[in-house]
Amino acid sequence: MQHIDIKDIFDRKSGYTGKIVTVCGWVRTSRDSKNIAFLEINDGTAFKHLQIVADKNTIGDTAKFMPLCSAGSVTGTCVTAANNPDSVEINAEKIELLGACPPEYPIQKKPHTLEFLRTVPHLRVRTNTFNAMFRLRSKLSEAIHKYFLERNYTYVHTPIITGSDCEGAGEIFKVTTIGFSKDYKTEEEYNKADFFGRAAGLTVSGQLEGEVMATAMGKIYTFGPTFRAENSNTARHAAEFWQIEPEVAFAEIDDIIGIAAEMIKFVIRFALENCQDELGFFEKFYEPGLKAKLQTVADSEFARVDYSEAVGILKKSGKAFQYPVEWGCDLQTEHERYLTDEVYRRPVFVVNYPKKLKSFYMKQNPDGLTVAATDLLVPGVGEIIGCSERENDYEKLLAAIKERGMKISDLFGSAPVRVGAAQRVRAGA
Amino acid sequence: MQHIDIKDIFDRKSGYTGKIVTVCGWVRTSRDSKNIAFLEINDGTAFKHLQIVADKNTIGDTAKFMPLCSAGSVTGTCVTAANNPDSVEINAEKIELLGACPPEYPIQKKPHTLEFLRTVPHLRVRTNTFNAMFRLRSKLSEAIHKYFLERNYTYVHTPIITGSDCEGAGEIFKVTTIGFSKDYKTEEEYNKADFFGRAAGLTVSGQLEGEVMATAMGKIYTFGPTFRAENSNTARHAAEFWQIEPEVAFAEIDDIIGIAAEMIKFVIRFALENCQDELGFFEKFYEPGLKAKLQTVADSEFARVDYSEAVGILKKSGKAFQYPVEWGCDLQTEHERYLTDEVYRRPVFVVNYPKKLKSFYMKQNPDGLTVAATDLLVPGVGEIIGCSERENDYEKLLAAIKERGMKISDLFGSAPVRVGAAQRVRAGA
């Protein structure tokens, strides 16, 4: 069906003014008077709706176009909007109904709770909230690719089904073609009969494969789904989420911190430039001051503090924390919030954590107690990036795996290989 | 570690000529003489190696830099290459060994079989073959995003863990946190105790979710991993693969064919422009004439033939096919090859397949026998795209599901919802 995207009409107003165009879309608001009907339609290419002015002497009866979410095509002249010289509208010459919407349609022009919208997952994306959210997610994904690809990174797809447990946390979903069965006496027998002839699960991180790739392609990033079978119901845990995992050869902790800060700022700026309407919607209905907050993050010099120094600051704060602070403790949300919201008032990298808090693969510092790892904490949010220089000393790496009671075979599957043994290159991020 | 990407040196030769630069990388070839050593290093940002000229009077003993895959940093002056005025090389002033490579390192400067490389999966990406392949894959991924994002599509991440079987083929990997267990008497009890409280599996397609998104955002695409527990060992089947699934509202079969052809050509042109070195490598070592073949596809007008007409052509061909051809039969590789390689000699869309060969969601044509579906067949390759207009008649859709003995509950999980019932918009691609 020949038609143009509504976004193109908004983007190149002057190019279409005075011309006859055809657009398709869904009715998002409608208003009828004796001689004229006004419809706002949306085709999903822009967050904004396009106003259609329908003269009943030309169009005929407009009643069938009035119900919300009716789908149709409109042909008419693109003109400067009567009430906004910066926008355009269409004087309709022909409207065709492509999909009628019945009166019992569950999404009407009134506030719906997110709880209600959970019950109509096939329709909720048509609301402004979900529409804005998915559009923003798409733009953020675009920005992530743009950031890395413009800087000579190779985008790699690491395996989703894997035999390795990178984090050693055991929170892995199993993948099987058998599932429930009474046919096997032992787990070993079961695994042997399974699709891959061995136990397999969903990746918790593409990092180990990413490191392998980085020792050939120098700078790589993954951007794909990751899975954790965590039995927690918080807004910060999901069984399935998309994760970005850059791995960079010839990089040390300072380089990694630089990359993390630059990437976050790039992505935020991209959203501010390309998602004005969507962020405006969130600012109006969900979080006042959102754009200014994002702008502040994009413009600020991120702070940096050693973990040990941060512990000192927290202890001297005089605050009655629920979880007491001692060197060696994991920073809780209340501690992170104090650092970001009260001490630094901007994003802060906490650097050089105690090694027993962190994963086996992180570069051990000369002090023997800490690792060259950092978390980026952001005001009002908490941790959004965790990264580290990678351990490049094979014996230390082996010792760290053993110390944690992990099995090499869980990392490298049934055929453990000496990954990176021949290389002592620092890789991280 | 302060250094610049070798790709940037190749890309902006004049900008660096005469300047002192530091690069890092792995030694890919080395040659020693009495006074001068020549190293070619690669840092993974470019497929090409950068030549390093090391005067032993300046550098000292170069023996430790000679082993292949040694990692190091080089500081020196960037100059026009002695034997190639179009390229550059580095006159080293300082070389630092970052990672020594032992003599038993398994990848040496000689041909290795792909079978051997399977035994060193952590190292094989350092070979030219795998390096070129992963770089090409990254560029193709970039092109795919570029194509859709420039055309107002929204990139969506559809669920990987799902309760629905879109294709109804039953080739689904199960996802569980239980796996082998003797604790449950029935599958129902097992599923109830499982992580999601019900059976779950890995997606075979994001299409159904994509259709839902397209009825809000108009034009969407997915690009993510998809899984099939197919018990076949061919070069054309994989348990895990990345798939692109665009869904477009207000589009009919002709629009969909246009999008498919334009996208393929765009992606091929992007590779020809951005992967000269990688494609040159494949042409030299794997497939003579590769670039010309790709150029031909990019430049050709794709052919189009009705399935019924294609059957007629095959029957009249006089060829002794292994599988006889009759209207209603699935086209086998030999038939597809005859059409692409002998009849059309260019990519061809076969359109309007018998409905019983295709999935339930495809738009039924007025003839009652065929659906508005098409496969794109490419010479020397076979099918690379399958697409269709989507059925928008709810009663026909229900009937098609029943005809195939599928259960609605398999499509929509435990809480079947009437997807799209309120909409009669044509969506496809």
* Span A22-61, pLDDT tens digits: 999 999 999 999 999 999 999 999 999 999 999 999 999 9
Q: How far apart are the first and last CA of chain B?
A: 47
Q: Within an 8 Å CB–CB cutoff, is residue A190 touching chain B? A: yes
E-assigned strands of B187-271?
A: 201-202, 219-227, 240-249
Helix (DSSP H) and strand (DSSP E) numbers for chain B: 14, 16
Q: Name the pairing type of β-strands A20-32 and A36-42.
A: antiparallel
CA distances from B6 to A147, A247, B42, B74 (A): 18, 17, 7, 11
The whole-chain average pLDDT of chain B stands at: 91
ipTM higher than the 0.90 cut: yes
- Put simply, the chain A residues between 199 and 228 with a CB less than 8 A from any chain B CB are 199, 202, 212-220, 224-225, 227
Torsion of CA A53, A58, A59, A62, to 10 degrees: 70
CA angle A353, A357, A362 (to 5 degrees): 65
**Is residue B88 within 8 Å of residue B78, measured between CB atoms?**
yes
Contact across the interface for B229 and A195, Cβ inside 8 Å: yes
- How confident is the model at residue A164, as a pLDDT? 75
Q: Which residue has the higher pLDDT, B227 or A1?
A: B227
CA distances from A66 to A38, A54, A72, B127 (A): 9, 11, 11, 63
CA–CA distance, B73 with B26 (Å, rounded to integer)? 9
Please state, as a whole number, how many other Cβ atoms lie within 10 Å of the Cβ of residue A51: 19
B328: left (phi over 0), alpha (psi -120 to 50) or beta: left
- Transcribe B321-375 into DSSP letters: -SSPP-TTPPPPHHHHHIIIIIIISS-EEEEEEEGGGS-TTBPBPTTSSEEEEEE
DSSP designation for A381: T
Which among A155, A202, A252 is the nearest to B141, CB-wise?
A155
Amino acid at A416: P
- pLDDT of B254 > 90? The answer is yes
Q: Which residues contact B216 (CB under 8 A, 6 or more apart)?
A: A44, A125, A126, A130, A131, A134
- In chain A, residues with a C-beta closer than 8 Å to the C-beta of B176 are 173-174, 176, 179
CA–CA distance, A219 with A204 (Å, rounded to integer)? 21
Tens of pLDDT, residue by residue over B70-116, are 999 999 999 999 888 889 999 999 999 999 998 899 998 888 999 99
Q: Among A41-55, B45-59, B396-410, where is mean pLDDT lowest? A: B396-410
**Is residue B218 within 8 Å of residue A23, measured between CB atoms?**
no
- Put simply, the chain A residues between 137 and 166 with a CB less than 8 A from any chain B CB are 137-138, 141-142, 145, 149, 151-152, 154-157, 159-161
Please state, as a whole number, how many other Cβ atoms lie within 10 Å of the Cβ of residue A68: 16
CA–CA distance, A43 with A20 (Å, rounded to integer)? 18
- pLDDT of B415 > 70? The answer is no
Scored b (16 or more CB within 10 A) or e, B256-270 reads bbebbbebbbbbbbb
CA–CA distance, A156 with A176 (Å, rounded to integer)? 25
Contact across the interface for A71 and B423, Cβ inside 8 Å: yes
CA–CA distance, B306 with B368 (Å, rounded to integer)? 15
Chain B interface disruption, residue of A157, A203, A277, most B CBs within 10 A: A157
- pLDDT of B426 > 50? The answer is no
The whole-chain average pLDDT of chain A stands at: 91
- What are B273's two structure tokens? 């422009």
Helix (H) or strand (E) holding A88: strand A84-99
Chain A interface disruption, residue of B22, B43, B48, B217, most A CBs within 10 A: B217
- What are A121's two structure tokens? 């997952």
**Is residue A270 within 8 Å of residue A139, measured between CB atoms?**
yes
Contact across the interface for B425 and A216, Cβ inside 8 Å: no
Mean pLDDT of B382-410: 89
Mean pLDDT of B392-418: 73
Burial class (CB in 10 A: 0-12, 13-18, 19+), B127: middle
Tokens 């392998």 belong to: A212
Tens of pLDDT, residue by residue over B317-370, are 999 999 999 999 999 999 999 999 999 999 999 999 999 999 999 999 999 999
**Is residue B286 within 8 Å of residue B279, measured between CB atoms?**
no
Contact across the interface for B44 and A218, Cβ inside 8 Å: yes
Contact across the interface for B187 and A176, Cβ inside 8 Å: no
Q: Within an 8 Å CB–CB cutoff, is residue A230 touching chain B? A: no
Contact across the interface for B250 and A98, Cβ inside 8 Å: yes
- How confident is the model at residue B169, as a pLDDT? 61
- pLDDT of B214 > 90? The answer is yes
- Put simply, the chain B residues between 250 and 269 with a CB less than 8 A from any chain A CB are 250-252, 255
Q: Which residue in chain B has the smallest CA separation from A213?
A: B125
Q: Within an 8 Å CB–CB cutoff, is residue A240 touching chain B? A: yes
Contact across the interface for B101 and A423, Cβ inside 8 Å: yes
CA–CA distance, B104 with B100 (Å, rounded to integer)? 12
E-assigned strands of A228-369?
A: 240-249, 303-306, 348-354
Helix (H) or strand (E) holding B99: strand B84-99
Q: Which residues contact A361 (CB under 8 A, 6 or more apart)?
A: A207, A208, A211, A388, A390, A391, A397, A400
Please list the ranges in chain A whose pLDDT falls under 70: 165-170, 232-236, 410-429
Share of chain B above pLDDT 90, in %: 80
- pLDDT of B176 > 90? The answer is yes
Q: Which residue in chain A has the smallest CA separation from B67?
A: A422
Q: What are phi and psi of B285, to 5 degrees?
A: -105, -15
- How confident is the model at residue A422, as a pLDDT? 30
CA–CA distance, B396 with B365 (Å, rounded to integer)? 11
Which among A73, A152, A252 is the nearest to B7, CB-wise?
A152
CA distance A30 to chain B (A): 18
Please state, as a whole number, how many other Cβ atoms lie within 10 Å of the Cβ of residue A142: 20
- What are A123's two structure tokens? 């329709």
Q: What share of chain A is helix, strand, coil (3-state, %, to 5)?
A: 35, 25, 40
